Chains A and B, each alone.
Chain A
Amino acid sequence: MKTRRVEETGATVLELDGRLDGSTAEPLYLTLLGLIAEAPSRLVLDLGGMSYVSSAGLRVLLLAAKQARGNSIKLVLCALRPNVAEVFEISGLASVFDIAPEREMAMTHGGPAVAQF
């Protein structure tokens, strides 16, 4: 898995590319914790390039989401591929995350950073 960080107005975006599984989950988690420590108001994970996710990957995304919420950071996932979206769906996680269909929508999805908590 490769990641690329992009700074947008009002948000830090991390683009994920490749497989998120048992061998790539831990490095990604460390990257996410690093970004959360910088306390952006909004952290967008662009999953458009993510071809695969297993429960090991879901686990670290969930941990990161909890961490972000604890730090009043709005974490939004976007651009899930259909096969990835299906795994979120059957895991019952689609409703737990803030998920936007496209990246542009993720910039405003769910309103201001901490309002809905």
Chain B
Amino acid sequence: MVTGQPSLQLALGGDVAGITRLADALESFGVAHCIPAEIIGRFALASDELITNTILYGGPDLSIGVDLQLANGLLSMTIADDGRPFDPLGAPPPDTTSGLADRRVGGLGVHIVTRLMDVVSYRRQDGLNKTTIAKVVSTQGSSE
């Protein structure tokens, strides 16, 4: 916290209202730090998918913390929750090839996250599930 790098911390409850609140906060962060809207859109969707999953598996009593950091051209977000151990990356890959009649949509959320981001990782630490997503950013309008 002494680095002076742009960062954002947000505490959310275990309900979906927090997802739009996070999306709004992301948008403001993006404008304040000249991050392309396309990148912010990716983080909004990826965090929506991960938090929706977390709430689905962890229930409404969760505490969810979001930590966003911009450092050295990398925008990264860690989503932590105090639910039972759950690795979102442990799910089987989704069906992305069969036709309409047979198409299933389970697991699609995490698949979307991995396609939107450069880095997706999970760890269990201090009794928390922590999922980190990151993407390289070239900021607009910087002074150099």
Contact = CB atoms under 8 A, between A and B. Distances in A.
B109 interface: yes
A87 B101 contact: no
Given A22-B52, A23-B16, A90-B115, A54 B99 contact: no
Given A21-B19, A23-B16, A62-B105, A55 B112 contact: yes
Contacts of A54: 45, 48-49, 52, 109, 112
B interface residue count range (under 10 / 10 to 19 / 20 to 34 / 35 or more) = 20 to 34
Given A22-B16, A83-B41, A90-B115, A55 B99 contact: no
Interface in A18-48: 19, 21-23
B12 interface: no
Interface in B1-45: 16-17, 19-20, 38, 41, 44-45
B72 interface: no
Interface in B93-144: 94-97, 99-101, 103, 105, 108-109, 111-112, 115-116
16 contacts: A22-B48, A23-B17, A52-B45, A54-B45, A56-B52, A58-B108, A62-B100, A65-B100, A83-B41, A90-B111, A92-B94, A93-B103, A96-B99, A96-B100, A96-B103, A97-B100
Given A23-B19, A54-B49, A83-B38, 14 more contacts: A22-B16, A22-B19, A23-B16, A52-B44, A54-B52, A55-B108, A66-B100, A69-B101, A90-B111, A90-B116, A91-B108, A92-B95, A92-B97, A96-B99
Interface of B: 16-17, 19-20, 38, 41, 44-45, 48-49, 52, 94-97, 99-101, 103, 105, 108-109, 111-112, 115-116
